[in-house]
Amino acid sequence: MKTLVLLLFSVMAGAQSPPSLNHSLVIIGDSLTEGYGVSAEEAFPAQLQKIFNKNGNNWKVISEGISGSTSASAPSRVRWTLKKPPQMVILALGANDGLRGIEASATEKNLDQALALLTEAHVKVILAGMKMPPNYQGRNKDQFEKIYPRLAKKYHIQLIPFLLKDVAGISSLNQKDGIHPNAKGHAIIAKNIYKYLQPNL
């Protein structure tokens, strides 16, 4: 009789305490994601992980930032990521395309292919938008900044309008090059990203 009671108690306890889920979020990006010029702990992926932990979100943030990457690497990097599909991906590429003057149509084609792969794999994806610096003018700048909302609409995915919102152009939040955020800038990026992630967690 005692054995039966203990068995029932164990079953009930197990029902009340389901095993915790282990979700993974991969951020595919460039030097902004990698955290150029700051420590790994100060880069926004690590700071985002801290926000998750603080709020009890059982998600593991995996940074796949590679300095110098352009959108041309997006399809192949997505294929690599899909070898062990995560629950969610933030695609944060294109900044170097803009800085190097790569044709907007080429950038859009590369990102489109990457998003198609993620969609076909049924991986939830969030697209991080980019903008070219104010001193860059011309037709390519205008076309470049239209890429992200257009692709987000095409694939019906969440768009972060500008990854560097509230950071770009503010000297106190950036390193001497004026392009890469410092630790304070990365903290703001992490907080902004979390706002867009909350409905998807």
Q: Is the pTM of this model over 0.75?
A: yes
Question: What CATH number is associated with residue 120?
Answer: 3.40.50.1110
Q: Which residues are catalytic?
A: 31, 177, 180
The reported pLDDT for the residue numbered 201 is: 83
Domain annotation covers residue 2 = no
Does a structural domain hold residue 15? no
Sign of the alpha-carbon torsion through 42, 43, 48, 53: negative
Q: How many folded domains does the chain comprise?
A: 1
- What pLDDT is stored for residue 135 in this prediction? 79
For the chain, which residues score pLDDT lower than 50? Answer: 1-21
Residues 6+ apart with CB under 8 A from 76: none
Report the alpha-carbon distance of residue 64 to residue 121 in Å, rounded: 19
Q: Which domain holds residue 115?
A: 20-200
pLDDT on residue 1? 47
Q: Is residue 89 part of a domain?
A: yes
pLDDT at residue 166, rounded to an integer: 98
Tokens standing for residue 8:
């029932």
- Write down the pLDDT at residue 18: 40
* Residue 78 belongs to some domain of the structure: yes
> Per the domain annotation, does 142 fall within a domain?
yes
List, for residues 10-67, the tens digit of each pLDDT value: 334 444 434 444 899 999 999 999 999 999 999 999 999 999 999 999 999 999 999 9
For residues 60 and 144, give the distance between their C-alpha atoms in angstroms, rounded to a whole number. Answer: 31
Q: Is residue 5 part of a domain?
A: no
Would strands 23-29 and 88-92 be described as parallel, antiparallel, or unpaired? parallel
Residue 132 lies in a domain: yes
Q: Is residue 24 part of a domain?
A: yes
Task: Name 125's bridge partners.
Answer: 89
The count of residues in the chain is: 201
